[in-house]
Chain A
Amino acid sequence: MTVSQSTVAARATKPGHIKAVRAVQSVLLHILAIGLGVIFIAPFVWMVSTSLKDVEQLYTQAPKLIPNPMRFENYAEAWNSLPFLRYTLNTSFITVSCIVLEVISCGFVAFGFARMNFKLRDFWFGVLLASMMLPGSVKMIPMYVIWRNLGMLDTYVPLILPAAFGSAFYIFLLRQFLLGIPRELDDAARIDGCGYLQIWWHIMMPLTRTALITVAVFTFMGAWNDFFGPLIYLTSDAKKTLALGLRIFQGQYGSEDHLLMAASVIVLLPCLMVFMAAQRYFIKGIALSGLKG
């Protein structure tokens, strides 16, 4: 209280010219920040713009941002040129399964690491983190051999089942988050007769909601956009995913940029919506987990 009062006092006694300098700085800051924002969003905007052009507008010396005429038929054309509905359903199935499994398993394991005492706990946690260092390319051949021997090729199992065991980064994130929740809550619940399982499900899962949403969003983006997993494990056409579909589309209509961009926007749209809906949660989710240790 005293600190903020003295700050107010300090601000009030500031000479006028410092205020003016600050105002100019603030304007410059806004211009710079907006400029940076524009640069980052520009490729996306251009993608939407290209997806609405007709062929004549694609290759001109002075490209236009807003197409005239706008050709919305590009979307229908792209959508109908391949079984995109099938791909969307397949991808949704994989993505939703991964999210459910990942959120539950990571929450579960993180609770164990954050709240229980056992021998070599920090050692096992370290080993788990170290496993992130291994490049995917080292894993690729051995994993393929394992799944082949289990007869799981051309099924969704190799794409979904690993999520049931969690992944090191998300376990790390959730553990950090849980460490910030006071232990008194656990103790109170234990006195009331709750076991670990009840404390986890009824107290910790709701309290870590923001961090769980973060994990869910990251899992969503990872699974939805995954290209190599489906490429390696799925062979039959009916099982393919959107990322693969886009690749096939690129092979067939590679020179027709407007259709390619329309197809890309279609694939991207669900990601965009999830991201918009969840972004404030996941900034908070990462902030509270603090990555602080």
Chain B
Amino acid sequence: MKNIRNFCIIAHIDHGKSTLADRLLETTGAISERDYQNQVLDDMDLERERGITIKSHAIQMDYKQEGQDYVLNLIDTPGHVDFSYEVSRAIAACEGALLVVDATQGIQAQTISNLYLAIDHNLTIIPVLNKIDMDAAMIEEVKDQIVDLLGCDREEIIEASAKTGFGIDRILVEIVNKIPAPKGDPEAPLQALIFDSLYNSFRGVIAYFRIFNGSISKGDHVKFNATGMEYHADEVGILRLKQEPRNAVFTGDVGYIISGIKSSKEVQVGDTITHVGDPCKQAIEGFRPVKPMVFAGIYPTDADDYEELRNSLERLKLNDASLSFEPEASAALGFGFRCGFLGLLHMEIIQERLDREFDMNVINTVPNVSYKVFTNKGDVLDVYNPSGLPEPNYIEHIEEPYITANIITKAEYIGPIIKLCMDKRGTLKNQVYLTTDRIELTADIPLGEIVFDFYDKLKSISKGYASFDYHPIGYQNADLVKLDILLNGEIVDALSALITRNNAYEFGRKFCEKLKEFIPRQQYDVAIQAAIGAKIIARETVKAVRKDVTAKCYGGDITRKRKLLEKQKKGKKRMRQIGNVEVPQKAFLAVLKLDS
């Protein structure tokens, strides 16, 4: 146990985490060549393209130093705001962390909040300044930032280039020398933390764990504390480039268990594994069930694909327990599902995976958060769908979820960013200069405002420089109304939104204007109206097409014309008929683009 080191890497997206991990694996011989993919830890296409590690993984390396053999377990962490709980569990499984900062970019909000998580868990931090070989590297400036943040000595910061391999040896030396070996009692009852899971179609759900006390052997009768489920350990082992079965995994080490688990619901990140016969006294602290934060309806474009969509979602859920969904019916869109996501990025990822991996063409409704509606009968309802909002006369009051947002930006953008936070009904909490030209801003903002276009706006007003992180802080009072959109007099339930009363008029007006851009002209005039209850608050009209006929169709025109009309037919197939109005898919997301 004294020769085990468990560590993770804390870094902002694109700051070189995966390349660095790659280099560590290569240097320790965990991979002989870069024979697989450039970045071993990200193995979904989508992850590589977006440069985000969506699902965390772990990998073990052997390392020899001064005649001693060490086992290094690198636990990967997802790098986006939506996954902060998963990050916290990965951090809880480690004794140390590499803080990787891009020398050309400096410290970003995400890095700071994950760093705080690591410090809260008493992790030893090894600062690494990456990409020092780049022309744009601001070595001294970024070192200042790191020193300010960690209170470390300048000399402690390792200069590195994951690309060229510079500094990798020193990183390995310091992992061994600085990060403490795991503590724990090998003789105590088993206590292992689940920090991740993976679905395998042959073997079921595989749980990744870190053992704090005791050991786990093949064939053991184990129990997962939070779910209360019991299993026989069909296989246990350690995580090398592939899973390597072992007879047992011991205190301090990282490993996996296969026990014929069918559903990812049964393996919850943060849960504790123990023995049925000799259970640990306490579960590992910090577990909480995954809670979706953002909700949206997902409907098949072709109503016939409903069952296929269900199958696709079920398969996605097998390896992504944080996705939740339940059947929902919409008058406009037919049968579909109300899905719960960890955040907006998570929602986008699911949509893209449906498209890429399952070839499912879907329509998404306006995303919203979950509200607590207190009825005058004393009930509290969780409302996460506009149609679920009770009639006004039954509502005593409504509460909405708030988050604390941490934003790090160059000082020059601070004005517009503060204005953005205020526009989003935010309350400024704190404003700290990290260096002379970088500010960390803290604000409490309703989550419902974040799901619209907060992130895009933040990026655009800061020219892409501001970084953003958030965590939920509970519920506060909200003055909420249901805003309906009518097309030719018919309510399109899929376009209804829950919104603060004060914003409703402007929102309704912008929404109608935006829909006018997205709804193509048809054979009739199309009236687009926004309404609160029976009261119309905004209106736009899409004028009817009066003719649609090509003037010339001679020998040389036929091919081009046919292709054009075939394309139109395809486009039309992707539209939904609502009353007598044809609505393209993208209109359902118009709400997200109100200001562009």
Please indicate whether A and B come from the same complex rather than being unrelated chains.
no
